[in-house]
Amino acid sequence: MQNARDTFYVTLRDRLAAVNPARTIVLRGVIRPGVLVEENELASATVPVNAFCLHWTGLSVDAQGALPLATMTCEISYATDGDSGNGGMDRGRLLSAMDAELVAAVSAAPQSVTKRNYVGAAGGSGLAPVAMGTNVFWGDAAFGAAVVNTERLERVATVEVFCYQEAGEL
């Protein structure tokens, strides 16, 4: 299932970067697209704003078919404090812009991609990810209510991600 998670993350990251190349974050001194996976980063007391943070929260496996079908729930949280030049009074507009970016990235056709194994490609090794024999596919995002947290406006969207588990895959 890790291969499916990595594949979904990389696909979403690349699509979001194409929708809004200006949405970036600085993480450990490196500028990168404004998307991260919570479990892959160092623990931090601060929640990044104006970025999308993926968190895997649910998993079920249906072993009835030729290959087990895994269904995973990905929570995508994001927040904005608004633009300081506007005194934060544009929080709603900026959150709506992030909503639109997420819809464009998740709902863009196709809503599937060839599953890839990124193990050899990690850490800047120069190796390309290896294409696997099945696809990762997902549904549309379901958006939770916007929540006011002091000066911050936050939202969590969920996406159901599906994949078939291939022989020997963890």
Q: In a 10 Å sphere around its CB, with 0-12 CB exposed, 13-18 middle and 19+ buried, how is residue 6 labelled?
A: buried
How large is the average pLDDT for residues 85-102?
85
> 45 to each of 42, 48, 156, how far by Cα in Å?
10, 10, 18
Give all domains of the chain, ordered by start, each with its CATH number: 1-164 (3.30.2000.30)
Per cent of the chain over pLDDT 70 is 91
Per cent of the chain over pLDDT 90 is 69
Query: What's phi and psi for 110, nearest 5 deg?
Result: -85, 155
- 77 within 8 A of 154, measured Cβ to Cβ: yes
What's the CA dihedral at 138, 98, 32, 39 to 10 degrees?
Answer: -50
Question: What pLDDT sits at residue 86?
Answer: 66
Across the chain, what does the average pLDDT equal?
Answer: 90
Give the number of other CB atoms < 10 A from CB of residue 140: 12
Q: How far apart are CA 109 and CA 25, in angstroms?
A: 26
Cα angle at 157 between 47 and 162, to 5 degrees?
115
pTM, entire model = 0.91
Name the nearest CA neighbour of 38 among 71, 63, 9, 4.
9
What band does 45 get if pLDDT is binned at 50, 70 and 90? low
What band does 56 get if pLDDT is binned at 50, 70 and 90? very high
If DSSP codes are grouped into helix, strand and coil, which group holds residue 154?
A: strand
Question: What pLDDT sits at residue 123?
Answer: 57
